[in-house]
C-alpha cells in the first residue's frame, strides 16, 4: 500500500505553513490556510451523514475551493467527481445519472434548475460560510488503499461519458512517480495550473505540487481564452514546471514572451494527452534550450500517464515520431493482436497496460468495463485502443488511435502517419488528415487541413508547392487529394486538437 495522500499532504502543509500553496492570478492561499480549510470542510462533510464512500460532485473552474473540496472529500472518506464550469447540460445530466452523487459542491453556480437529480447542493455562499468557521478534524477513515479517490468522466466525444473509477493507490503511485528521479521536479517548484480539473492531466500538477511543497499557479479558463491577458500574465508567474498538452504549448509559442529569455526559471516541460510532434519539440527546444522536455503517455483509465521519457535533441534528430517512454514502476506495457500478445519487438498492435495504475473500471457500467478491462495472470489490465510498438528495451512508440486507421483504395492508412508526413513539409506548420466517406461508408479520399507557415492568397499555388515539397517525404497513396487551409484548429475542452469533430464536420 502507498503512503496516504492526506497524511503526506498534512505533513507537507505543516512543514511549509507560511509558503504559498495556491496562487490564482494573485489571489494566494498558504499551506497553513489550505490545511485549515480542508479540515473545516472535511469536518462539515463528516457531519452530513452521507452514505459511506458515496461520491461528491465538485463543480467549478480553477478556484482554490476546488482543491479544498477534493482534499476534504478524501479526508472525509469520499471520492470526488470534478466537473468543469461550462460543461454541456447533457454531459452533466449523464454524469448525475451515472454517479448519483450524495452531494454537489458548487464552487461555481450549478445549473440545478435545468438538471434532474436528488443530491443537495452546497452553493458558493454556503461554502464560504462553512469555511469561515475553522474547525480541526482528525480521522482514521480517510480514503485509502484500493478505495476510490476520484471518478473522472471521459470527454464523451463518442457516445455518453464514462466514469473512470480511480483508486487512492492508483493516484498516489502516479504522483510518487511524477516526483521521483524519473522527472526533473524539485521541491517548492511553481507549477503552471492550466488543464481543467475535469481533465486527468490536471492530476499531473495539482497533487504533485502539493506533495512537494510547491505552488500551483492556476490559470482560470477566462484567462486562457484571452490571449492578451494570458501572455501578459505568464512571464510574471515565475514558473518552473509546465504541465499541458502539446497543443497548449503550440498556443503559448505564438507569443515571443514564451521563451527562456523571459521565463528563465521554466526548466521542466511535462507533456501528455496527445502526440508531441517533432515540430513542437524542436520549436520548444529552440525557445528553452536549457529546459528538460518529457513526453508521457496514458489514458484516463490507467491514471493519467504510465510511460515517460526525456525528449533530448538526439531523440528528436533520430525519430520521425517521438517515443512515449518507458513504463512507470508497477506497470507493464505489452502489445496485442486481438487476444494474443505479440512478443516480437517492433511489431505493431494494440497497447495493453497492466499493473497498479489500472483503474477499477467504468462506474455502473459493467458492459463497457468488461470490454476494455481484464486480467493478465491475475493482474488488472486495460486495452487502450491505441496502436503501438515496443522496442527490445521496453521503449514504447505510440502509432495513433486504432479507430483512426482507415482503408483507402486497399491500403491501410493511419491518419496520424499522414499528418506526420504532411508536417515534414517546410511550408506546413500543422496538419490534420481527415477521411472523406461516401454513403456506403467507404473512404473515397483524404482531406488535409493545414495551418501553413505563411498564409497565401493563392491557395491553388500553395497546394502545388506543398505537393512538390512533399515529394519523397510521403507515400504517394497517403497524399491527400484535397487541401483546406485554416488559421487554427478546433480544440476539445481538454485542450487537444478536436480531430473527431473535424472528421464529423468534413462528412456532414
Contact footprint for ligand AMP (CB under 6 A): 200, 272-276, 295, 297, 299-300, 324, 384, 386, 398, 401, 494
Cβ-based nearer residue to ligand AMP, 287 or 419 = 419
Cβ-based nearer residue to ligand AMP, 35 or 91 = 91
Cβ-based nearer residue to ligand AMP, 273 or 452 = 273
Cβ-based nearer residue to ligand AMP, 259 or 421 = 421
Cell of 87: 460543461
CB atoms within 10 A of CB 94: 18
Cβ-based nearer residue to ligand AMP, 215 or 384 = 384
Least distance between ligand AMP and beta carbon 140 (Å): 33
Pairing of strands 27-30, 20-24: antiparallel
Cβ-based nearer residue to ligand AMP, 279 or 398 = 398
Least distance between ligand AMP and beta carbon 423 (Å): 14
Give the integer Cα–Cα distance in Å for 36 and 324.
40
Handedness of CA 190, 192, 198, 201 (dihedral sign): negative
Are the C-beta atoms of residues 397 and 420 closer than 8 Å to each other?
Answer: no
- Give me the residue label for grid cell 527490445: 392
- Angle between helix 31-46 and helix 64-75 axes, rounded to 10 deg: 50
H helices of 226-321, in order, are 227-233, 246-252, 278-287, 313-318
Least distance between ligand AMP and beta carbon 286 (Å): 21
Cβ-based nearer residue to ligand AMP, 43 or 499 = 499
Least distance between ligand AMP and beta carbon 274 (Å): 5
Say which residues have a Cβ less than 8 Å from residue 470's Cβ, sequence separation at least 6: 421, 422, 424, 425, 479
Least distance between ligand AMP and beta carbon 421 (Å): 16
Cβ-based nearer residue to ligand AMP, 163 or 273 = 273
Least distance between ligand AMP and beta carbon 324 (Å): 5
The CB-nearest residue to ligand AMP is 300
Give the integer Cα–Cα distance in Å for 261 and 26.
23
Are the C-beta atoms of residues 382 and 332 closer than 8 Å to each other?
Answer: no
The per-residue DSSP string of 68-83 comes to HHHHHHHHTT--EEEE
Least distance between ligand AMP and beta carbon 494 (Å): 6
Identify which of 401, 415, 280, 391 has the alpha carbon closest to the alpha carbon of residue 334: 391
Are the C-beta atoms of residues 103 and 119 closer than 8 Å to each other?
Answer: yes
Cβ-based nearer residue to ligand AMP, 124 or 401 = 401
Least distance between ligand AMP and beta carbon 304 (Å): 7
The b-or-e profile of 119-140 (16+ CB within 10 A means b, else e) is: beebbbeebeebbeeeeebeee
Least distance between ligand AMP and beta carbon 300 (Å): 4
Amino acid at each position: 500500500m502507498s503512503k496516504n495522500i492526506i497524511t503526506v499532504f498534512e505533513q507537507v502543509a505543516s512543514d511549509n505553513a507560511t509558503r504559498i500553496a495556491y496562487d490564482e492570478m494573485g489571489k494566494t492561499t498558504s499551506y497553513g490556510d489550505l490545511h485549515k480549510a480542508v479540515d473545516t470542510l472535511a469536518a462539515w462533510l463528516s457531519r452530513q451523514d452521507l452514505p459511506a464512500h458515496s461520491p461528491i460532485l465538485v463543480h467549478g473552474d480553477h478556484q482554490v475551493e476546488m482543491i479544498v473540496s477534493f482534499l476534504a472529500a478524501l479526508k472525509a472518506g469520499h471520492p470526488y467527481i470534478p466537473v468543469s464550469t461550462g460543461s454541456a447540460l447533457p454531459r452533466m445530466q449523464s454524469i448525475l445519472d451515472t454517479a448519483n452523487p450524495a452531494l454537489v459542491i458548487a464552487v461555481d453556480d450549478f445549473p440545478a434548475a435545468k438538471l434532474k437529480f436528488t443530491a443537495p447542493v452546497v452553493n458558493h455562499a454556503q461554502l464560504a460560510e462553512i469555511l469561515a468557521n475553522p474547525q480541526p478534524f482528525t480521522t482514521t477513515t480517510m480514503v485509502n488503499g484500493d478505495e476510490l479517490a476520484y471518478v473522472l468522466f471521459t470527454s464523451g466525444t463518442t457516445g455518453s461519458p464514462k466514469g473512470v473509477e480511480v483508486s487512492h493507490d492508483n493516484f498516489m503511485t502516479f504522483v510518487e512517480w511524477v516526483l521521483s528521479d524519473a522527472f526533473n521536479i524539485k521541491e517548492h517548484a511553481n507549477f503552471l495550473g492550466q488543464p481543467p480539473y475535469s481533465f486527468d492531466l490536471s492530476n499531473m500538477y495539482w497533487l504533485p505540487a502539493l506533495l512537494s511543497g510547491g505552488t500551483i499557479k492556476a490559470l482560470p479558463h477566462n484567462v486562457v481564452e484571452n490571449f492578451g491577458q494570458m501572455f501578459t500574465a505568464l512571464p510574471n508567474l515565475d514558473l518552473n514546471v509546465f504541465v499541458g498538452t502539446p497543443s497548449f504549448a503550440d498556443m503559448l509559442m505564438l507569443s515571443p514572451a514564451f521563451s527562456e529569455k523571459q521565463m528563465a526559471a521554466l526548466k521542466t516541460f511535462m507533456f501528455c494527452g496527445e502526440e508531441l510532434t517533432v515540430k513542437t519539440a524542436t520549436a520548444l527546444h529552440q525557445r528553452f534550450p536549457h529546459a528538460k522536455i518529457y513526453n508521457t503517455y496514458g489514458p484516463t483509465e490507467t491514471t493519467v500517464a504510465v510511460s515517460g521519457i526525456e525528449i533530448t535533441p538526439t531523440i528528436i534528430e533520430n525519430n520521425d515520431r517521438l517515443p512515449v517512454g518507458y513504463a512507470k514502476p508497477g506497470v507493464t506495457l505489452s502489445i496485442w493482436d486481438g487476444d494474443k500478445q505479440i512478443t516480437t519487438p517492433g511489431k505493431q498492435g494494440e497497447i495493453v497496460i497492466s499493473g497498479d495504475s489500472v483503474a477499477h473500471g467504468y462506474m455502473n457500467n459493467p458492459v463497457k468495463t468488461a470490454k476494455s478491462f481484464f486480467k493478465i495472470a491475475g493482474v488488472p489490465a486495460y486495452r487502450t485502443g491505441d496502436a503501438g510498438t515496443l522496442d527490445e528495451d521496453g521503449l514504447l512508440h505510440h502509432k495513433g488511435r486504432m479507430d483512426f486507421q482507415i482503408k483507402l483504395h486497399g491500403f491501410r492508412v493511419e491518419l496520424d502517419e499522414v499528418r506526420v508526413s504532411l508536417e515534414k513539409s517546410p511550408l506546413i506548420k500543422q496538419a490534420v488528415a481527415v477521411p472523406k466517406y461516401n454513403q456506403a461508408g467507404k473512404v473515397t479520399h483524404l482531406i488535409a487541413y493545414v495551418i501553413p507557415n505563411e498564409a497565401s492568397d493563392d491557395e491553388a499555388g500553395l497546394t502545388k508547392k506543398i505537393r512538390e515539397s512533399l515529394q519523397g517525404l510521403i507515400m504517394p497513396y497517403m497524399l491527400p487529394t484535397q487541401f483546406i487551409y485554416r488559421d487554427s484548429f478546433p480544440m476539445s475542452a481538454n485542450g487537444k486538437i478536436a480531430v473527431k469533430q473535424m472528421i464529423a464536420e468534413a462528412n456532414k
